[in-house]
């Protein structure tokens, strides 16, 4: 494998499939005992929790037009 001038390498398809690495997957490089390992970054629980409290079902009975007018500041 060769490193490009931009410092990039191609992860072989078999490795990507085995680790579940898809486009936009976050990875880290870990140095241990003179070797460097590529590891798939674990999902950040804090960022997941940040959005969990926003999940739910809308309970306001408004039409789309009413919501858009409210959003745009129309009266």
Span 55-66, average pLDDT: 82
Rounded distance between C-alpha atoms, residue 54 and residue 44, angstroms = 17
- Looking at residue 5, its pLDDT comes to 96
Angle value at C-alpha 29, between 47 and 51, nearest 5 degrees: 5
Query: In terms of C-beta distances under 8 Å and separation of at least 24 residues, what long-range contacts does 51-54 make, across chains too?
Result: none
User: How do the domains of the chain map onto residue ranges?
Assistant: 13-72
pTM of the complete model: 0.48
Give the per-residue pLDDT at 47.
Answer: 59
Q: How does pLDDT run across 34-57, given as a tens digit for each residue?
A: 999 988 887 665 556 667 777 777
């Amino acid at each position: 494998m060769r490193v490009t001038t931009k410092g990039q390498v191609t992860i072989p398809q078999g490795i990507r499939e085995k680790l579940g690495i898809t486009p936009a997957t976050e990875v880290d490089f870990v140095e241990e005992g003179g070797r460097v390992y590529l590891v798939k970054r674990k999902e950040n629980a804090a960022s997941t929790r940040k959005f969990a409290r926003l999940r739910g079902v809308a309970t306001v009975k408004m039409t789309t037009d009413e919501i858009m007018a409210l959003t745009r500041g129309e009266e």
